Amino acid sequence: MNSGIELEKHVQQVYSALLNMKDEGIIVGQDVQIVDKFGRSHQVDVYYQFEKAGITHKVAIECKDHGRPVDNGQVAKFFGKLTNAGNIQKVMISRLGYQKLAKEIAEDNDVLLLSVDDLPKLNELLAARLKTVALPDETTIGEPFWTIMEKRDGSVSGSFFAYPHPTTKRPEMLLFYSKEHAQRAFIEAQLDSDRWCVRGMPQYVFRAFLIQLEWAEMKGYGAAVLFAPPGALKDKPFITLPASRKDLIAEYYKGEIPSITKGV
């Protein structure tokens, strides 16, 4: 395969992984045609766009793997063909770097120059994706649940706190409808804040919880929603509502969940 095409494919895969850390569904295209305001079509090696806060961000990437550093003419040709294509961030990626004049022209025309070494390694991407998808931080909002998670070295480990059911004594991973309820349970259980923390569960974190819950149910553990009616006195105990993985998926999760037993 042509080395230039291989570089384009690698760049497309890297950016696709980076942009979809939380399964946002952003499409990163390879060998894309961009139409300018005059109706003329221009080829770009890699292209993606996404919307944030009502603003559409567009990025075009040119990949160079020609056995020599990129010269000023190649930079000029790249930004020149996109001059009339709207507000597009222009990026060049080269395996062998750039000539001095090429760097100057790129700086004058807002072209970001990167090397292949600037791209994260695939194993680093995988680790980053797993951390982003499965491990929430203190800013994460519950959708709709909150929970208590283990913390190591200041960051959540991915393990969930389990507490014996008041009647059956079965260990159950806990879910709460509000952060306040989770914090109250945290205090009542006298948990060590260096080891445990309250975290919100958006859908991508809830998905990780449900995957772990299948294994937990196989081991005789379970899950429960701890609930207190609005306005209830603080000294009144929580109402404990056992919740099966099947019911949680059916009533609170949108999408498909891989199964440990089915291997899908």
Whether residue 209 lies inside any domain: the answer is yes
Do residues 182 and 70 share a domain?
A: no
The residue out of 125, 143, 159 marking a domain boundary is 125
How many domains are there within the chain? Answer: 2
The residue out of 69, 95, 125 marking a domain boundary is 125
Specify the pLDDT at position 142.
54
pLDDT tens figures, 20-35: 555 555 667 888 899 9
The answer on pLDDT for 197 being more than 60 is: yes
* CB crowding 208-244: b at 16 or more within 10 Å, else e: bbbbbbbebeeeebbbbbbebeeeeeeeeebebeebe
Do residues 18 and 100 share a domain?
A: yes
* Structural domain boundaries enclosing 203: 135-252
Specify the pLDDT at position 263.
41
Do residues 168 and 102 share a domain?
A: no
SS (H, E, C) 35-77: ECCCCCEEEEEEEEEEEECCEEEEEEEEEECCCCCECHHHHHH
Dmax over CA atoms of the chain, in Å, equals 76
Domain containing residue 234: CATH number:
3.40.1350
Do residues 145 and 248 share a domain?
A: yes
Per mean pLDDT, which range of 5-19, 82-96, 158-172, 181-195 is the poorest? 5-19
Do residues 179 and 197 share a domain?
A: yes
Do residues 71 and 44 share a domain?
A: yes
CA nearest to 61, candidates 13, 99, 108? 13
Whether residue 260 lies inside any domain: the answer is no
Do residues 42 and 88 share a domain?
A: yes
The residue out of 77, 104, 125 marking a domain boundary is 125
pLDDT tens figures, 41-75: 999 988 888 766 566 778 888 988 878 899 999 99
The distance from CA 48 to its chain's CA centroid, rounded to whole angstroms, is 17
Whether residue 50 lies inside any domain: the answer is yes
Specify the pLDDT at position 264.
38
Do residues 111 and 202 share a domain?
A: no
Do residues 98 and 153 share a domain?
A: no
Do residues 75 and 93 share a domain?
A: yes
The answer on pLDDT for 150 being more than 70 is: yes
